[in-house]
Amino acid sequence: MRTKLAAGNWKMNGISAALAEIDALKIDFGAPGVEILVCPPATLVDRLSQRVQGSPVMVGGQDCHENETGAHTGDISARMLHDAGASHVIVGHSERRADHHETDAMVRAKTEAAIAADLVAVVCLGESEAERDAGETLAVIGRQLAGSLPDSATAATVVIAYEPIWAIGTGRTPTLDQIAEVHGYLRAELVRRFGAEGDAMRLLYGGSVKPANAAEIFAVPDVDGALVGGASLKAADFGGIIRALEQA
């Protein structure tokens, strides 16, 4: 049985006052078999990690550099995130791929850096609306999966997050059949490449997940949780999603 994961990506949102939103998650949640992860801006990683000590809430970064140290002004290494109290890091998010021109090879290098720093890498994949309309979804997802995951990936070190780009922050969500098709394809590819480890790797869905649609999404085969954007900023919204995952 794969452990479920509710992961929140705050993106470029949140200052010190926002940390209070985490307090309800520390108290109200923590069911066996369900993990909770919050990825705040890098400025809050250290303070959040201190705030959630002794609770079921884990802390992650939103990106890391592929090198451990060096002349990379403004970048943060995986080891720095680990030192600040993070246990996970998101890599390859579509906003990083688009805004910072990150390639699959770069995402793979970041994944390797995360693993080397004892972080769990949450590796993001997703197709654009044009690619979906052209019937290229599985080809795009397959290429990203093959290029972004190192051979050293295991179920303990990597989580895969499928986020169709056209559904992120738009309020649009793929049909349940579309989610099932992609997650089924990902599972088959992971098993083909990694065998039993591939079967144990967790697959998250992301893209306009909210309390109102979470339960039906979590009922889809091979959906082991969610990577949540805007709805993770408020404890009431994120809590509703976590509760749906606990009951799935």
65, 88, 93, 183: which is the annotated catalytic residue?
Answer: 93
Q: 3-state DSSP call for residue 45?
A: helix
> What is the full per-residue pLDDT of the chain (248 aa) written as tens digits?
899 999 999 999 999 999 999 998 998 898 999 999 999 999 999 999 999 999 999 999 999 999 999 999 999 999 999 999 999 999 999 999 999 999 999 999 999 999 999 999 999 999 999 999 999 999 999 999 999 999 999 999 999 999 999 988 888 889 999 999 999 999 999 999 999 999 999 999 999 999 999 999 999 999 999 999 999 999 999 999 999 999 99
Q: Is 99 helix (H, G, I), strand (E, B) or coil?
A: helix
Q: Cβ distance 182 to 125 under 8 Å?
A: no
pTM above threshold 0.95: yes
Residue 170 DSSP symbol: T
pLDDT digits (tens, 9 = 90+) for 133-145: 999 999 999 999 9
- Specify the 3-state DSSP secondary structure of 52: coil
DSSP-derived pairing of the beta strands 202-206 and 158-162: parallel
Which of 239, 169, 237 is CA-nearest to residue 207?
169
Give 4: exposed, middle or buried? Use CB within 10 Å, 0-12, 13-18, 19+: buried
What CA–CA distance (Å, rounded) separates 103 from 106? 5
β-strand 225-228 against 88-91: which pairing, if any?
A: unpaired
Residue 163 annotated as catalytic: yes
CATH homologous superfamily of 4-247 equals Aldolase class I (3.20.20.70)
Cα separation, 71 vs 244, in Å, equals: 44
Which H helix or E strand runs over 212?
helix 211-218
Q: What is the pLDDT of residues 212-238, one digit of tens each?
A: 999 999 999 999 999 999 999 999 999
183 catalytic? Reply is no
Query: Which listed residue (21, 127, 163, 189) is catalytic?
Result: 163
